[in-house]
Amino acid sequence: MKRAYARFLILAALIGLATAAVGQDQDEVPPDYSGTYYCKSFASGGLRFDKQSQQWLSTTFDVANDAHTIKLVATGKTGEGAVGMKYRAYQIGVKQFGSKDEPSRCFGSNSGFGNDPTDALAYGSVLTCRSLTTLYTIDPALNRLQIYFDGGFMRDTQDSPNKDTPYIVVAKCEKID
């Protein structure tokens, strides 16, 4: 179990590093990636609680019918972050593709330093935001989306051991608007 969990964490970290590695000249404000993106999931892995062994085990999930729309709206704010790189600020909405609901507001996870905490800041083409227990990282230049769900691992597993289990999803995106 420890090996499987360790492999999952290493995979998640490598995917994150690969996505964040997109280069940007520090003196340039990133381009405007505003628009709506259709993101079709193609792989997912995570944890499930095994009642018999009373342990968390690694697993995969079926994402054949899973897709999201991500709406990026540039706020017009640009600036320089703590590491000296220029950024462009966005408001982000996320929803399951095909849902009639309004997009959920996704709050910037890397704002701070006097910026509006609802803004997500793009350094290069990578934006990260959080909606409750879900972290979204989108790279519109590479047409990629990662979703990390923190979920049920942090809760007592006795009542509903496989409800809201932790997972990561990766998706390919295309700009549709």
Question: Which residues are paired to 136 by β-bridges?
Answer: 129, 147
C-alpha angle 123/124/128, rounded to 5°? 50
pTM comes to 0.78
One-letter identity of residue 95: K
Q: Write down the pLDDT at residue 4.
A: 53
Q: Is 36 helix (H, G, I), strand (E, B) or coil?
A: strand
Between CA 97 and CA 94 the distance in angstroms is 9
- The highest-confidence range among 51-55, 132-136, 172-176, by mean pLDDT, is 172-176
Q: How do strand 127-131 and strand 144-149 relate by DSSP bridges? A: unpaired
Residue 22: pLDDT over 60: no
Cα-Cα end-to-end distance for the chain = 44
Backbone dihedral region of 156: left (phi > 0), alpha (psi from -120 to 50 degrees) or beta?
Answer: beta
pLDDT tens track for 39-95 = 999 999 998 888 888 888 898 989 999 999 999 999 999 988 777 889 999 999 999
